Amino acid sequence: MRCFCFCAVHSLAAARYIRGVNTASIPVKTEPIPERQPRKRSTAAGNAAAASFANLIERLDYLSPSDLERVRLAYRFADEAHLGQLRNGGEPYITHPIAVAGQCAEWRLDAQALMAALLHDALEDCGVTKPELIQRFGSPVAELVDGLTKLDRLHFDSREENQAESFRKMLLAMARDVRVILIKLADRTHNMRTLTDTPRDKWARIASETLDVYAPIAHRLGLNQTFRELQNLAFRHLRPWRAEVLERAIIKARGRRRDLLQNVQRAVESSFVKSGMKVKIAGREKSLYSIYKKMQGKHLSFADVNDIYGFRLVVPSTIDCYTALGTLHQLYKPLPGRFKDHIAISKLNGYQSLHTTLVGPSGTHIEFQVRTEAMHMVAEAGVAAHWLYKAKGPQDSGQAERMGSQWLQSLLDIQDENRDAAEFWEHVKVDLFPDAVYVFTPKSQIMAMPRGATVVDFAYAIHSNVGDHAVAARTNGEAALLRSELKNGDVIEIETDPTASPNPAWLSFVRTARARSKIRQHLKTLAQADSQSLGEKMLTQAMRSEGIENLPPDTPDKQAVWEKLLRFSGNRSRAELLTDIGLGKRIAGIVAKRLLTLLVATGEKPDAVLLTRERFGAGESVSQGSVLLDGSENASVKFANCCRPIPGDGIVGYLGRGEGLSVHIDTCLAAKKLKSKDSERFIGVEWSDAPVRTFETGLLVTVTNGKGVLARVASALANAETDITHIDMGDEASQGSVVLRFLVAVRDRNHLDLALSKLRRTPSVLQAQRSRILGALNADRAPGNEH
C-alpha cells in the first residue's frame, strides 16, 4: 500500500501542468488511507476482467510509459472497489468501466480521462470518497469522476427534478471540462450496447432518455459516429418490431442495388483518375433511425426513400473539394435545390462538407459528400478530434472545439440566471436540436440561429440589452414583425428604445434558450417590483381603515416596529413583506392589525375621524379600505378574462395565493363562486378618476352576411377611436347572418357606449352588444342598452 500511495502522489506532481491546469496549490492529504479488506472472486471472472483490461492496454500505445502506469493504478483500484459486483448479463462489473475507457481510447483521450472512465462508478456505487480519489489520483481526476456522479444522496420532489439536477451538474462540469461529457457519452453507449441484459420494462425509459438527451448532445458536439450508434440502439429497443422489419428491408435493398452502386463507384473513380486528383471514395449508408424518421416525417414508404445510399469523397485540400464537385456535376446531373455548402458556413458543431445529390443511372438519387481529411476527422469525432488528431496541429481540430465551446459557455450563462432545475432543463432541451439558419447583421457578420428562431431571438443573440429594448426590426431593408421567423441569408436590423421592456407575449414564440431565459429574468424582476408597489398600496389602505394615515417610515426610530412586524410575518425585509402582500401570500388586513398593535405600544393613536370615514363612509359596511386602479399596475394586477372589466363597471378584487390581484366585475359568476369558497381573500377595489390606458372588453356583433361587411364594421369601430385587438368569425358556414366576436380596447363605459352606438347605425349590423361572459353584466339592464 505504501508503494501504491507513493505512485499516486508522484503521478499528481507529474500531472500538475497537464492541459494547463496548475494543481500545485491543491493540498494533498498524506495521512494513510485505511486498507480495504481484500475480497475473493472466481478465477473465471478474474480472467475475463484481466483479458478486457489487456485488450484496453493494447490500444493505449499513444500514452507515455508513466501515463500507462497511472492508468494501471486506476484499474487496480476500480477492480478492487467493484470486486464481487456483477452486471445484469452476469459478467464482472469492472468490464463496464473497462469498456467505457476503451471508447475513450478510441477518441485518444488523455490519461486523466481514461482514469476517470475506469473510476466513474466508484463514488456512486462503492462508497469511495472524493478526498480518497484526490489523494490517490490527484484533483483533476477526482473532479472528472465527481462530475459524472449522480446526485443520489440528495432528495428531490420528483424523478424529473432529479434528472434535471443530474443533467445540470453534468452540463456544468462539461462546460468547464468537455472530457466529462465524452466519458458520459462513452458510458451511455456501452450501457445501450448491453441494454438487452436489463429487464425489458426499463428499455423504454432508458432508450427515450438516450434519444432525448444523449444522442442530441453527441450530435451537437460533432460526435456523429456516436450520435448515429446511440440513435440506432435506442430505436431498436424503443421500437424493436419496426427496427427489425426496416433492417430486413435495408438488407434486401442493399443486395438489389449492389451492382448499381458498384457501377457508380467505378465511374467516379475513373473520372478522378482522368482528372489526376487523389481521392478516397467510400460508400455510405443512411442510418436505420434516420431512414425511419424520414419515412415517418414525410409519410413515405420504404420504397419511396431514394437516398439511402451515397458516397463520401475525401480530397487533399479545400480547393480540391470544389474541383471535385465540378467533376461530379460533369459526370451526373445535379438535383436542383439539393446542394449545400457547409464549408463556407460550417454547422454549429463545426461540421464542414459539401453535399450534393446527383441523378445516377436509372434515375436513382445518390448523395455525395466531399471534404478534406481534416474535415472528416472533425465530422466523425467532433470535439474529440482535439485529442484524436492532436499531433496534426491545432488547425485540424480547433474549429470543432471552438464551435462546441460556444454552446457550452452559453449553458453556463443560462444556469447563472435560472437556479430552478426544471426550468434549466427546459431551456437546455430547446437548444439540443440545432437545425440552423444563417443570417447577417447590418455589418455583414454571419450568425447561426436555430431553425424557427425569430427576430427577438436574433436580438438577444446580439446582446441582452438589444433584446430587452427591441421595439421594431427591418429584414432585408423592409419593416418586419418581431415574431417573424428568420430565413437563410436575411439581413436583420433591430431598432431599440431605452424605455422599452420585454413583452410577456414574446415567450409564446421565441425559440432559443437564451432569449427565453432573459425574458423570464426581466419579467420576474418587473413582477417583483410591481408586486411590492401594490403591496405597499394595499397595506396603506388597510392601515387607513385602522385609523393610521400612512405607513411608518423605514427610519431608525421606527426600525424596532418593522423588526417586530417582520418576526411576526416571517419575512426577511420590509420589501419582501410588501411583495408577499402584493402577491397574496399575506393578508393586508391581518398585517395592518398587527402593525397597529405595535404602533399603539409606542404611543401612536388611531385618528378617530379617519377611522370613521374609512370604515363607515357612505353607510357601507366595515371594509378593509379600497385599492385605486388606473391601469398602471402591470404584472401585479390582472383584469380577469372571464368578464373583462373596464372603468365604469362595478368591480371586486380577489387576492389569489401567490398570484397577485385579480379584478372582476362585481356580478361575475366566477367571482361569486370564489367568494363563496374564499371570501376573506376579497378586497375592495375602485377605479381611479383618470385611468392611464385603455382596457379590453368583448363585443358580439351580428351582421347580415355579405361582401365588405367586415370592412364596414371595422370602419365604424375605427371612427369611434376603438382599437380592435382580436377578431373571431367562428366556424359557421356561409349563412344569412353571422356573429362576429371582437376584442376591443376602450377607455371606459362611455367610450364603449359610443362604439356600440356607431355599430348599431352601420348598414348590415343587426345587433351589437357587449359579450355576456359568465353573467358578468347586470341582468336587469335594458336590452336596448346592453353593453
Q: Is 475 left (phi over 0), alpha (psi -120 to 50) or beta?
A: beta
CA 646, CA 699: separation in Å to the nearest integer? 13
Question: Could you give the C-alpha distances from 281 to 266, 277, 371, 383, in angstroms and in order?
Answer: 10, 12, 11, 25
User: Among 538, 745, 778, 779, which residue's Cα sits nearest to residue 650?
Assistant: 778
> Which is the catalytic residue, given 69, 80, 124, 380?
124
Please list, residue by residue across 301-327, b when 16 or more beta carbons sit within 10 angstroms of its beta carbon and e when fewer do.
Answer: ebeebeebbbbbbbbeeeebbeebbeb
Is 110 one of the catalytic residues? Answer: no
Beta bridge mates, 660: 656
User: Among 693, 698, 681, which residue's Cα sits nearest to residue 644?
Assistant: 698
**Burial category of 296 from C-beta neighbours within 10 Å (exposed 0-12, middle 13-18, buried 19 and up):** exposed
* C-alpha cell at position 329: 456535376
Concatenating the DSSP letter of every residue in 349-369 gives T----EEEEEE-GGG-EEEEE
- Are 660 and 627 spatial neighbours (Cβ–Cβ below 8 Å)? no
Concatenating the DSSP letter of every residue in 483-535 gives TPBP-TT-BEEEEE-TT----GGGGGT--SHHHHHHHHHHHHHHHHHHHHHHH
> Which is the catalytic residue, given 91, 125, 161, 696?
125
Is 413 one of the catalytic residues? Answer: no
Concatenating the DSSP letter of every residue in 686-719 gives EE-SS-SS-EEEEEEEEEE--TTHHHHHHHHHHH
* C-alpha cell at position 715: 370602419
CA 296, CA 290: separation in Å to the nearest integer? 10
CA 107, CA 184: separation in Å to the nearest integer? 13
List, by residue number, the catalytic residues: 124-125
